[in-house]
Amino acid sequence: MFGPVRGPWPDETWKGWWGDNPPYHAPVFVLTNHSRASFTMAGGTTFHFVTDGIRAALERAMDAAQDRDVRLGGGVTTLRQYLRAGLIDEMHLAIVPVLLGSGEPFFAGIDVPKLGYRCTEHVPTAGATHVVLTKHG
């Protein structure tokens, strides 16, 4: 989600897709295999680059959030890692009926009920279906 870079950071002037004032206005922890120094942008967004895995990124995010919510964002691969590790308490999925190409299957090979998730909300609208899955037990 942070950028199109795959591999080492070739240009550390790249600061994301959103311009000088990212929409987050909070600390953001970017999973990567390649070190990069943290930096702060307008609106109070500070990007931190985490190279030691999903658990370390989540711990740092939870420390920064104190008692507030931590939200995960990213591609299917990242979210599947957190889901399989049982580190997601609640997921809000917005399912939009638009064909974009082959995509990546989010739930393929994952037994969501076996991981302890139940559908706790289902709201169909004209533009999307919203489903909330909550982890129990």
Q: Is there a single domain that holds both residue 53 and residue 99?
A: no
Alpha-helix residue ranges (DSSP H) falling in 32-129? 54-65, 76-84
**pLDDT at residue 13 in the model:** 81
Q: How many CB atoms lie within 10 A of CB 80?
A: 18
Q: Which whole number is the average pLDDT over 88-111?
A: 85
**pLDDT at residue 83 in the model:** 93
**pLDDT at residue 132 in the model:** 96
Quote the domain boundaries for residue 136: 89-137
Say if CB 79 and CB 119 are below 8 A apart.
no
User: Is the residue at 46 inside a domain?
Assistant: yes
Q: Give the chain's mean pLDDT.
A: 90
Predicted structure pTM score: 0.84
Number of domains forming the structure of the chain: 2
Q: Is there a single domain that holds both residue 1 and residue 56?
A: yes
Q: Is there a single domain that holds both residue 64 and residue 102?
A: no
What gap in Å lies between CA 123 and CA 135, rounded to an integer?
18
| pLDDT, tens only, 65-90 | 999 999 998 888 899 999 999 999 99
Q: Are strands 90-95 and 129-135 parallel, antiparallel or unpaired?
A: antiparallel
User: Is the residue at 2 inside a domain?
Assistant: yes
Query: Two tokens at 5?
Result: 């870079």
What gap in Å lies between CA 93 and CA 91, rounded to an integer?
6
Q: Is there a single domain that holds both residue 59 and residue 121?
A: no
119 pLDDT exceeds 90?
Answer: yes
**pLDDT at residue 9 in the model:** 81
Indicate the helix (H) or strand (E) that contains 123: strand 117-124
